[in-house]
Amino acid sequence: MPIIVLFTDFGPSGPYTGQMEVVLRQLAPAHPVINLLSNAPVANPRASSYLLAALRHSFPEDSIFLTVIDPGVGSGRKAVVLRADGQYFVGPDNGLLNTVAVQSRQAQWLEIIWKPEQCSMSFHGRDLFAPVAARLACNTADDLLKPFARHDLAAWPEDLPEVIYFDHYGNAMTGLRYHEDLAGKRLTINGIAMAQANTFSAAAEHQAFWYKNANGLVEIAVNQGSARQQLGLELGDGISFVL
């Protein structure tokens, strides 16, 4: 049975996640709903796209991702569904789904052509995307969608060597997937160089290091400290590697 996965920048408080969940419960009551992430980079679809592309791999085929990082809500941007390697992604066509598409073996884009009778100009997550995600879960969405071709992603990078997310501990996740050519190299960010470590305990207390995180991305951390605070990091800070 398909599960529905929420990926938003709504934050941990406020009514927005609950308002989307109640739509899903009403329209697809038999399908589990998982709130994967509610603190994606606020109003930053580009950074969020690399985070989404990494986190999707924990979920099985047929999973339906309801994704809302949408600073252009109410504008002329399309509402879309992306089918990528058997998973579905529902959300705005603002770059949020692009990294999933370029990293996938197979990707099909569909425009949401259905318009609900009542649709707020400022909350498409509840009024448009959630009903479509529910219909996808119930396999009743065919008449809501129209395929279209994408020819504008050739320049979209598959990896992003910069900070895209800070977790609760202040660890800095980047949009660069780890590969073996990076092993043993020193990472540099904002003029600060650090060595690789496989575990937190392999670094001295309060020492900065980089490692391959559990989602396959290059991440910067400080043992028993916050990389964000100790190193003064910000979203968008670029990284490079030296021998």
pLDDT digits (tens, 9 = 90+) for 219-230: 999 999 999 999
- For 152-198, the pLDDT digits (tens) are 999 999 999 999 999 999 999 999 999 999 999 999 999 999 999 99
Question: pTM higher than 0.95, yes or no?
Answer: yes
Residue 57 has pLDDT above 90, yes or no: yes
pLDDT band at 233 (very low <50, low <70, confident <90, very high): very high
Beta strand 172-177 with 186-189: parallel, antiparallel or unpaired? Answer: unpaired
Beta strand 239-242 with 186-189: parallel, antiparallel or unpaired? Answer: antiparallel
- Going along the chain from its start, the domains and CATH numbers come out as 4-148 (3.40.50.10790), 160-242 (2.40.30.90)
SS3 151: coil
Classify residue 114 by its DSSP letter: -
The full length of the chain comes to 243
Percent of the chain past pLDDT 70, that is, above it, reads 100
Mean pLDDT, the chain, rounded, equals 97
Residue 243 has pLDDT above 90, yes or no: no
